[in-house]
Amino acid sequence: MKRFIVMIVMLGVSGAFFCQTKPGSAKVAPNGQSIPEGFENWRLIAPSMRSDNNTIRAVLGNDAAIEAARTGRTNPWPDGAIMAKLVWKARFHEAWATATIPGDFVHVEFMEKNSKRLAQTGGWGFSRWLGKELKPYGKDADFAKECFGCHTPRKSSDYVFTFPAVIP
Amino acid sequence: MKRFIVMIVMLGVSGAFFCQTKPGSAKVAPNGQSIPEGFENWRLIAPSMRSDNNTIRAVLGNDAAIEAARTGRTNPWPDGAIMAKLVWKARFHEAWATATIPGDFVHVEFMEKNSKRLAQTGGWGFSRWLGKELKPYGKDADFAKECFGCHTPRKSSDYVFTFPAVIP
């Protein structure tokens, strides 16, 4: 019996170890969006930089987004496409003075396309996850209005700022 | 007989159509390096920017490089790791004046680690492929000395400038 209990405890401990999930993976944003699994392994759409807030960025896409980006079908983007914008504070490279590289991780933002379910916000679901802990941004579901407001001037480009980079 | 010839011609035409390969995929650099297949689908190590030549970049890695980058085993990088640095001319975003984004594709560079075979250049094989046509750079094998010369000051970091970005 004792050996049986020890085995159960060991199984529990190893289970807890192997079932560790990504920070934030079980979290839900105030508008119901959650973090797409495996986004850190998505492929590149384009890097970018912003001098107004001194950040450097990379936009990645899930398979549907990459297929659309690389075949020029991005106006509109297809339902099912999700983009992840990873944002870091920009810093200078200590061994190359004119190079700017990622410093601290700031946040990751997602745009998920579903033209029917998300019609009220241009067919896109927005979410933002702060810091390495991926803490959901926004006090209530209205936070997505802030995202959508910023993206509205890009209506003629299906509300997306990112142009897929040329990748041979 | 005529029908047979027509069939052969059609097979030839369709074969040529389906056998189209990536530009540069059959090319070899003057030092014998070739373009790693599927690099455009590799995962992100870090974006960067250089103000001295007004370019924006993304460094991607093959599976061995990504595993090393994401587990902190990058000094030295393991044999088999390959990094691809994609470089674009930087341009301003027409709808966001303080944002810099990729313009024309400039080149892609590879660093491939093999500590024994490539010991003469710090364990790394270098190559650079110009423009969308991915034209091999360098007149003779000595071109890699230029690459290695630039990377030599980074000897204490296994000759690599790139720091993997924090990706939660």
The answer on pLDDT for A16 being more than 60 is no
**What is the architecture of the domain spanning A23-157?**
3-Layer(bba) Sandwich (3.50)
What is the pLDDT, as a whole number, of residue B5? 53
Mean pLDDT within B48-76 = 98
Q: Choose between B161 and A22: higher pLDDT.
A: B161
Mean pLDDT within B122-147 = 94
The answer on pLDDT for A24 being more than 80 is no
Query: What residue ranges in A31-131 does DSSP mark as E strands?
Result: 43-50, 55-61, 82-93, 96-113, 124-130
Mean pLDDT within B108-120 = 97
ipTM of predicted assembly, 2 dp: 0.86
pLDDT digits (tens, 9 = 90+) for A80-132: 999 999 999 999 999 999 999 999 999 999 999 999 999 999 999 999 999 99
Per the CB < 8 A criterion, the answer to whether B168 and A24 are in contact is yes
The token pair at B15 is: 């074969």
The token pair at B164 is: 């993997």
**Could you tell me the CA-to-CA distances from B91 to A82, A90, A159, B103, B149 in Å, in that order?**
25, 18, 20, 6, 29
Local confidence band at B165 (pLDDT 50, 70, 90 cut-offs): very high
Report the topology of domain B24-157: Chalcone isomerase (3.50.70)
Per the CB < 8 A criterion, the answer to whether B122 and B148 are in contact is yes
Phi, psi dihedral angles at B66 (to 5 degrees): -65, -45
Please report the residues numbered 37 through 76 in chain B whose beta carbons come closer than 8 angstroms to any beta carbon of chain A: 40-44, 46-52, 56-58, 60
Given CB atoms, is A21 within the 8 Å cutoff of chain B? Answer: no
User: Cβ contact (<8 Å) for A161 and B40?
Assistant: no
Q: What angle do CA B166, B107, A49 make, to 5 degrees?
A: 40
Interface residue of A66, A67, A96, A130 to substitute, partner B, most B CBs within 10 Å? A96
pLDDT-above-90 percentage for chain A: 81
**Strand, coil or helix: A35:** coil
Phi, psi dihedral angles at B136 (to 5 degrees): -65, 140
What is the pLDDT, as a whole number, of residue A12? 46
pLDDT digits (tens, 9 = 90+) for A129-166: 999 999 999 999 899 999 999 999 999 999 999 999 99
Please report the residues numbered 79 through 98 in chain B whose beta carbons come closer than 8 angstroms to any beta carbon of chain A: 86, 88, 90, 93, 95-96, 98
Look over chain B and give the mean of its residue pLDDT values, rounded to a whole number. Answer: 89
The answer on pLDDT for B136 being more than 60 is yes
Give, as one character, the DSSP assignment of residue B74: -
pLDDT digits (tens, 9 = 90+) for B9-56: 454 444 443 434 456 666 899 999 999 999 999 999 999 999 999 999
Ranges of each domain in chain B: 24-157
Local confidence band at A18 (pLDDT 50, 70, 90 cut-offs): very low
CA distance B159 to chain A (A): 12
What is the pLDDT, as a whole number, of residue A75? 98
Name the residue in chain B with its Cα closest to that of A60: B44
